[in-house]
Chain A
């Protein structure tokens, strides 16, 4: 026993070393979980505030580029407004056509990048808006040039974005002209190059074709630009194309971003969940039958009073 204690005391640095390494590795492996990670990331308020201060100082250095980018966006928007006005006038002239009442499906929250990594395999971006501003995980993030990434986790005033430049990022996309689908993935290396996989071999692909979001996931609306095809290659199995895409978003100079808060997403999720689970299907059917039964006597009474039922669709 005494020899054992002596051994432990003599080699205590080995035990301390192993203990510290195990702690480090526990931190490392647990960093994939949201709850475990949240205090260890820049979403942490103290570190987030520090980066905010640093960012507010360094943002002056990049003002010129940001201004140029804003100027370009303004110009583009002005053109769009002009085109829209023209279209509106044409539609007003045509009495048969009416503007459809689109629901306010997409809203945008502007945010500023306070920290970002570009050189690692798992790059992350921290922005200075969080739950208090209506941001939740799995919301899309764009900049003036195109898609940036998806919100990964949020704290009260900060959010972490999983950018396109992350080996775990996979975004559903399509080719603008042919509308063939694919998935956008990133491989470690360049900050402006990503790859589109799973585009079928029979798709007509050309260089300089624009890759955009397809709107199948409710994170991004369809048609947001992602990048432009730079090189057309084959996948290792030869079954599909492997397209090298130059991304529109300028990640090294990224400052201003917008988060797309898709308010119809919960409604869609609920509907899809209800449609897939048999239990809820039964309950809906039962509910529907009950309502039908309740309605019948009421409608009969109504018909007696008014003679003919009113079609509400014609009233505006």
Chain B
């Protein structure tokens, strides 16, 4: 097992813990609960095998489902964003980008990266909350849940990315 996979498992463990213990208990205005676990899919570098991303995303979603009583919802949503992540990353990548770059502020620039994360979060939360409600009876509520949670999750991911970014910069300078 190479160090990349080990690091990914470590990151998954921390994110899952944060999601289950903290973010699952946030219900902003009663409807908004961010699925920060989607950050795992955001982080796949360009050129990763698409099958690999799909399987990882499915496993991540399934783990979330087991701890959150949402049988299959997150697994379906994560698999969906794993399908579109490589396409989106290729579209967003700057011309002079390296072949296997990891999406971040430095590689994609701030606004591009924010837009990329937001789009993925929108699809993730859209799929998740539509499966959860499974009806369009109260579509306004579902829409508020999807929009609010996507924005909130994007903000959290940017905060995480900023923290990681600052730490890396600090290590680089020292």
Q: Let me know if B50 and A27 touch, CB within 8 A.
A: no
Does A47 lie at the interface of the complex (its beta carbon under 8 Å from any beta carbon of B)?
yes
Q: In chain B, residues 25-54, which have Cβ atoms closer than 8 Å to a Cβ of chain A?
A: 27, 30-31, 33, 50-51, 54
**In the complex, which residue of chain A has the Cβ closest to the Cβ of B49?**
A13
In the complex, which residues of chain A have a beta carbon less than 8 angstroms from the beta carbon of B21? 54
A188 to B27 Cα, complex, angstroms: 13
Find B27's partner among A16, A27, A119 (CB 8 Å cutoff): A119
Contacting residues, chain A, for B31 (C-beta < 8 A): 119
A13 to B50, Cβ gap below 8 A?
yes
Q: Which of A95-123 contact B (CB under 8 A)?
A: 115, 117-122
A28-B71 Cα distance, complex, nearest whole Å: 5
Which applies to chain B's interface (DSSP): helix, strand, loop or mixed?
helix
> Which segment of B60-68, B91-99, B161-169 sits at the interface?
B60-68
Residues in A171-196 with C-beta less than 8 Å from chain B: 187-191
Chain B residues with CB below 8 A from A118, complex form: 27
In the complex, A37 has a CB within 8 A of chain B: yes
**A16 near B51: Cβ-Cβ < 8 Å:** yes
- Residues 106-164 of B contacting A (Cβ, < 8 Å): 131-134, 138, 141
Which residues of chain B are within 8 angstroms of A27 by Cβ–Cβ distance? 62, 65, 71-72, 75
| A44 CB to nearest chain B CB (Å) | 7
Contact between B72 and A26, CB atoms less than 8 A apart:
yes
Which residues of the partner chain B approach A263 to less than 8 Å between Cβ atoms? none
Q: A27-B72, A188-B141 are in contact. Are A21 and B132 (CB under 8 A)?
A: no
Is residue A25 within 8 Å, beta carbon to beta carbon, of the partner chain?
yes
Q: Do residues A31 and B72 form an inter-chain contact, with CB atoms below 8 A? A: yes
B35 to chain A, nearest CB (A): 12
Instruction: List 5 tightest A-B contacts by C-beta distance, closest first.
Output: A27-B72, A28-B72, A31-B71, A24-B76, A13-B50
Which A residues fall within an 8 A CB radius of B?
12-13, 16-17, 20-21, 23-31, 37, 40-42, 44, 47, 50, 54, 115, 117-122, 124, 187-191
Please list the residues of chain B having a beta carbon within 8 angstroms of any beta carbon in chain A.
21, 27, 30-31, 33, 50-51, 54-55, 58, 61-62, 65-73, 75-76, 79-80, 82-83, 131-134, 138, 141
